[in-house]
Amino acid sequence: MPELPEVETVRRGLLPVMEGQEIAHAEARRPDLRWPLPENMGARLTGATVTQLRRRSKYILADLSTGETLIIHLGMSGRMLISGVRIGEFHHEHPAPEKHDHVILDMAGGARVTFNDARRFGAMDLTPTAKVEAHWLLVALGPEPLGNAFDESYLIDRLRAKNTPIKTALLDQRIVSGLGNIYVCEVLHRAGISPKRKACDLSVKRVASLVPIIRQVLSEAIEAGGSSLRDYRQTDGELGYFQHTFRVYDREGQPCTTAGCNGTIGRIVQSGRSSFYCAQCQR
């Protein structure tokens, strides 16, 4: 599933063709994705101007001139594809709708934004903009890891009584939003912390050290266009490249990249997810 860097990359790709632009025509080509689509979604979107395109955790939020916000979640395989405009050196013409093109937004500026989702684990909903933070998908989310509300004092306070492995705690969207399996593995390796360590057993200093590392890893991943594993693509169809700099994720049996470490990367399963780490330098 796309994590924060992938979703932020998609948002940035959509900005030039959506923000400040009117949706000339919107078409929902099926009644549901993971859940039913909003009633009369096509009609409610048609004629609306996207006043702001922002991100909350792993969700893209399109604030509309109608006073509603379109919430978009990519799910496992969802892609937002742009056609009809020049992106970089390439001009993408409007292709004929394909089987898995479920929502099509024709923008007044000539661009077409297509939501394609082969597995249909993605989701869209419309909710009043003034109440969007209270929407059931967003209301329990913790602070943004790149925002001012996420700092050392906050994380120390939230983890001091967490009797769960630090890997599990950082994946808890109520503690910090947007982090997923890939980037938590990478963060813990850079911090030298074993994913098996109980969050409450970590010293204040070690917990505090996680904050700048989380920000660094996410920022590097966004700069690289995210990590392309299986279905993820950017809005122009290109791959992200951060996976080429993975230090531990999906590197089971390979040498640890930490300077002076002779260990190898191992894999364990925690809460049904693979954790990749070096048992020699992560304690």
Question: Domain locations in the chain?
Answer: 4-134, 152-278
Q: Distance between CA atoms of 72 and 41, rounded to whole angstroms? A: 13
**229 vs 105, which has greater pLDDT?**
105
Range from 36-40, 91-95, 159-163, 253-257 carrying the lowest mean pLDDT: 91-95
| Residue 150, helix vs strand vs coil | coil
Q: Pick the catalytic residue: 2, 145, 165, 195?
A: 2
- Does 2 qualify as catalytic in the annotation? yes
Q: Pick the catalytic residue: 3, 8, 68, 186?
A: 3
Average pLDDT over residues 199-221: 96
- Does 58 qualify as catalytic in the annotation? yes
Residue 62 near residue 48 (C-beta atoms within 8 A): no
Q: Pick the catalytic residue: 197, 206, 215, 273?
A: 273
Assigned architecture for domain 152-278: Orthogonal Bundle (1.10)
Q: Distance between CA atoms of 6 and 239, rounded to whole angstroms? A: 10
pLDDT value of residue 226: 65
Strands (E), the chain: 23-28, 50-56, 59-64, 68-73, 79-83, 86-87, 90-91, 101-107, 112-116, 123-128, 265-270, 273-278
Confidence of residue 85 (pLDDT cuts 50, 70, 90): confident
Which tokens sit at 282?
Answer: 């992560």
pLDDT value of residue 87: 54
pLDDT value of residue 94: 74
Mean pLDDT of the chain: 90
Q: Pick the catalytic residue: 11, 55, 58, 167?
A: 58
Neighbour order of strands in the sheet with 50-56: 50-56, 59-64, 68-73, 123-128
Looking at 3.40.50.2300, 3.20.190.10, 3.30.590.20, 3.40.50.10420, the CATH number of the domain 4-134 comes to 3.20.190.10
pLDDT, tens only, 211-268? 999 999 999 888 877 654 444 444 555 544 455 578 999 899 999 999 999 999 999 9
